[in-house]
């Protein structure tokens, strides 16, 4: 059997969610959106803006299930977003049109910067997760439609990887690629930035604060706008640091796959404590306390970041832990710290064979609409469909990654942004965006290969396998 790997042009991997990406790779991928020039009726609806999308969605709601499949493709073309029949969001792709609509409605602009095309299945991984977990969320979708004018633009093309098994079967994925949501005022000035993936509830909470800033600067002079924006980010920097401090007593199971609610965490502590007492901690989950939250010594474990997110935003076991449970956790933390000093090479172990697994909790991050879209994409076109129990585990793992990403993005990348703007560096969109992709996402425009062609090791391929179009 031959395995052929091909890589095509350009984007940045989302932070900490690699294990969840398989849920979004489906056969029959839409590589390119349908050309509007081929459908003048659809082009006319697109030109009418959100009103044209509303008209088509009304037809979709009245249609039979068989008719909806065809209409869904038209809806995507009118909305400029894949799976817009779920999100019901209209996206401008020209900034001047978005600004005109923002002035008409007196609303700020939410500008998505991404790799690839939001109408494609094979857009960058972050944007795919936005579509399934943020834009598909019923409450988030309604919030965005009511408060923002939506606009997206592409940083560059997204690199795709194809693994050809030689018998007709292929795996097609994207690699690298990060995205950010910019809040712009009606004239396109940057007010705020949310880098990477956020849980829907936190995404809406942070955007609500940005809306208040947009209201304060509306109609102000440039100098007043800059002063208000700097003050907002300076205050946000301190408030977020305070939130970070609140998480330092959070307990987490190292290497855990699911978010733990109060019952699950208590169960894990009791099982791990019993194993510790019998000197079998190597066969028990690592259960530790986060400890001091010095930003220069941030955790590297997704489970730790998920625990931080749970504590700060009230997800799962966010309320204070009972004192006996806390004491057990602290005793175990001390023991496991000593154990790790002797066994640094050991990866996160699995529970002792026969020990009951920690069950995934009821969904607490994604709503029914998002879960339905995730399930639909996960099973699309496959004869070997995931069972309801398997889907529940996929979604539970995805939710853990989302909460971990939210905490990591909020307390590292966004704090850097707050510090930059709060320190007086208020840049235009293009300048700030270039700095974010260069410094924060580590995918500068100057690197045409996005770090995928280091040229440091011999590959045995002519020119390291590079193919240049002629």
Pair 333, 288: CB distance under 8 Å: yes
Phi/psi region, residue 236 (left: phi>0; alpha: psi -120 to 50; beta: rest), is alpha
The residue count of the chain comes to: 470
The pTM of this model reads: 0.81
Residue 441: closest CA among 125, 49, 120: 125
**How many other C-beta atoms are found inside a 10 Å radius of the C-beta of residue 249?**
16
Which positions ≥6 away from 466 have C-beta within 8 Å? 453
Provide mean pLDDT across the span 272-280: 49
Biggest CA pair distance of the chain:
73
Residue 200's pLDDT band, with cuts at 50, 70 and 90, is: very high
**How many other C-beta atoms are found inside a 10 Å radius of the C-beta of residue 269?**
24
CA distances from 60 to 38, 48, 57, 66 (A): 21, 17, 5, 11
338 versus 314: the higher-pLDDT residue is 314
CA distances from 140 to 196, 259, 398 (A): 16, 22, 18
Q: What is the Cα–Cα distance from 83 to 101, expressed in whole angstroms?
A: 23
Alpha helix (H) ranges present in 218-316?
222-246, 262-277, 302-313
Strands, DSSP E only, in 103-250?
109-114, 149-154, 160-164, 170-174, 180-184, 190-195
Q: What is the Cα–Cα distance from 249 to 290, expressed in whole angstroms?
A: 6
pLDDT at 278 over 50: no
Answer positive or negative: Cα dihedral of 364, 365, 371, 374: negative
Q: What is the Cα–Cα distance from 207 to 209, expressed in whole angstroms?
A: 5
Going by the DSSP 8-state scheme, the letter that residue 232 receives in this structure is H
Tokens 């320190």 belong to which residue? 423
Q: Read off the pLDDT of residues 28-47 as tens digits, 9 standing for 90 and up.
A: 455 456 666 578 899 999 99
3 state DSSP class of 299? coil
Residue 359 class from Cβ within 10 Å (0-12 exposed, 13-18 middle, 19+ buried)? middle
Pair 272, 388: CB distance under 8 Å: no
pLDDT cut 90: percent of the chain above it: 49
Ordered domains of the chain (ranges, CATH): 4-238+432-440 (3.40.30.10), 250-342 (no CATH)
**How many other C-beta atoms are found inside a 10 Å radius of the C-beta of residue 192?**
25
Q: Read off the pLDDT of residues 158-197 as tens digits, 9 standing for 90 and up.
A: 888 888 899 988 888 888 779 999 999 999 999 999 999 9
pLDDT at 154 over 80: yes
Q: What is the Cα–Cα distance from 329 to 289, expressed in whole angstroms?
A: 7
Q: Read off the pLDDT of residues 124-150 as tens digits, 9 standing for 90 and up.
A: 999 999 999 999 999 999 999 999 999
Residue 454's pLDDT band, with cuts at 50, 70 and 90, is: confident
């Amino acid at each position: 059997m031959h395995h052929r790997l091909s890589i095509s042009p350009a984007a940045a991997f989302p932070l900490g969610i690699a294990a969840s990406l398989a849920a979004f790779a489906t056969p029959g991928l839409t590589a390119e959106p349908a050309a509007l020039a081929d459908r003048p009726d659809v082009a006319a609806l697109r030109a009418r803006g959100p009103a044209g999308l509303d008209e088509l969605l009304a037809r979709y709601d009245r249609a039979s299930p068989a008719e909806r499949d065809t209409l869904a493709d038209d809806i995507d073309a009118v909305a400029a977003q894949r799976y817009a029949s779920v999100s019901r969001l209209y996206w401008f792709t020209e900034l001047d049109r978005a600004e005109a609509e923002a002035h008409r409605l007196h609303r700020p602009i939410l500008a998505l910067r991404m790799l690839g095309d939001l109408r494609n299945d094979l857009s960058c991984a972050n944007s795919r997760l936005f579509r399934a977990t943020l834009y598909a969320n019923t409450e988030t979708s309604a919030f965005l439609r009511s408060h923002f004018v939506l606009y997206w633009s592409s940083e560059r093309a997204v690199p795709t990887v194809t693994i050809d098994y030689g018998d007709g079967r292929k795996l097609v994925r994207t690699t690298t690629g990060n995205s950010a949501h910019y809040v712009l005022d009606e004239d396109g000035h940057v007010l705020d930035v949310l880098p990477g993936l956020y849980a829907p509830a936190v995404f809406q909470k942070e955007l609500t604060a940005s809306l208040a800033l947009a209201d304060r600067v509306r109609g102000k002079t440039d100098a007043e706008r800059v002063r208000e924006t700097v003050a907002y980010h300076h205050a946000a920097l301190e408030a977020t640091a305070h939130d970070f401090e609140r998480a330092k007593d959070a307990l987490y199971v190292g290497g855990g796959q699911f978010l733990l609610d109060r019952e699950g965490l208590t169960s894990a502590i009791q099982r791990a404590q019993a194993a510790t007492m019998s000197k079998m901690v190597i066969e028990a989950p690592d259960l530790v306390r986060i400890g001091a939250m010095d930003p220069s010594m941030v955790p590297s474990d997704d489970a730790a970041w998920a625990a931080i997110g749970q504590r700060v935003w009230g997800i799962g076991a966010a309320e204070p832990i009972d004192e006996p449970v806390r004491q057990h956790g602290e005793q175990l933390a001390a023991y496991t710290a000593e154990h790790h000093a002797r066994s640094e090479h050991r990866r996160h172990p699995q529970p002792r064979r026969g020990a009951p697994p920690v069950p995934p909790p009821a969904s607490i991050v994604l709503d029914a609409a998002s879960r339905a879209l995730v399930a639909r994409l996960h099973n699309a076109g496959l004869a070997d469909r995931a069972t309801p129990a398997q889907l529940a585990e996929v979604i539970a793992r995805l939710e853990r990654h989302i909460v971990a990403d939210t905490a990591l993005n909020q307390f590292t990348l966004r704090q850097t942004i707050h510090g930059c703007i709060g320190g007086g560096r208020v840049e235009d969109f293009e300048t700030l965006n270039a700095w974010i992709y260069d410094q924060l996402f580590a995918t500068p425009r100057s690197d045409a290969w996005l770090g995928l062609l280091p040229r440091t090791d011999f590959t045995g391929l002519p020119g390291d396998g590079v193919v240049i179009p002629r």
